[in-house]
Amino acid sequence: MRIVLMVSLIVVSIAVGSVRAAETGPASPQTQHVTLKWLGTAGWKIQFAQTKILIDPFLTRKQAIAVEEWKTDEEAVLNVINGADYIFAGHSHADHIADIPFIAKRFGAKVTGSRTTTNLCLSAGVDKAQLTTISGGEKLDFRDFSVQVIESQHGVLNRGGQKRQPRSAEITNPLSGPILGKHFVGGGSYLYYFTFGKLRLLSQSTGNFIEENLHGLEPDVAILAENSNYDWTEAIKILRPKTVIVHHYDDWHAPLSSGMTAAVRRRAQRLERDVKFVDRNIRVIIPEFLQTITLE
């Protein structure tokens, strides 16, 4: 008896839900919220109106070995990603694009990225019609949002105590064989400056800027990639975002389930201090894995 009652309640609640949706209809983009979910590294899932966007989605979270064929952990991806209309790649290192071919093929998503991103997607069998190659300066309009592509540069890395600016070589043709770890060359680095209704959101995939390219941008929200080799002061002064979200501070080769240590979190807090040093009124968000942030 009880079971029957529960089932009928469920049916009623589904019906009410669908009637409400029909009465309200889709809201105009101006009145919609932007919902962000952090995927770890520089990865984000963005929902705006009916549109699902991914930036640098990387859920496999394993090092790409130079001479080994790359294999996406499909289960790890599908645990978190259930659809995608558009994917934007900030640069083409493995921890930014290695899972993109699988996601693009699975969901038919359109991919925007460097020549390397395009060529590796083609190599993996993504349809050419899904791919847009950028070189900086593009203004792309979509149904619910627009995005400006801004040339940037890769963050300086520490390798064995040496500071090194990664080369920005490109893969210029589709590969004749499988994608190996060594094919994830950095390629061009780009910022994406999104407009969602009235909200402007700047996404940075690696901790560096070409500062002269930042003038004129007025982001409400800037998603910044932690990098202790970069002096943030000038860029923050130019951008003056209302909110900063810190990302790419985690250990990207450990699974999401292993969480974050205090030492890892301190990397993000260091960037928070740099931002607050310029203007303590800037709100800084240090997200947890898979945390959802709703922007008004």
Applying CB under 5 A, the residues found at the interface with Zn ion are 93, 206
Least separation in angstroms between CB 72 and Zn ion: 18
CA distance 37 to 44: 6
Q: Which is nearer to Zn ion, 116 or 206 (by Cβ)?
A: 206
Neighbours of 216 (CB within 10 A): 7
Residue nearest to Zn ion (CB): 93
- For residue 183, the SS3 value is helix
Least separation in angstroms between CB 91 and Zn ion: 5
Q: Which is nearer to Zn ion, 183 or 200 (by Cβ)?
A: 183
Least separation in angstroms between CB 188 and Zn ion: 12
Q: Where are the beta strands (DSSP E) in 57-116?
A: 86-88, 110-113
Least separation in angstroms between CB 242 and Zn ion: 27
CA distance 189 to 201: 17
Least separation in angstroms between CB 204 and Zn ion: 12
- Phi, psi (rounded to 5 degrees) for 202: -105, 130
Q: Which is nearer to Zn ion, 72 or 206 (by Cβ)?
A: 206
Residue 77 near residue 83 (C-beta atoms within 8 A): no
Least separation in angstroms between CB 260 and Zn ion: 20
Amino acid at 159: R
Q: Which is nearer to Zn ion, 210 or 282 (by Cβ)?
A: 210
Q: Which is nearer to Zn ion, 32 or 92 (by Cβ)?
A: 92
CA distance 284 to 277: 12
Q: Which is nearer to Zn ion, 78 or 169 (by Cβ)?
A: 169
CA 209, 151, 174, 56 dihedral sign is positive
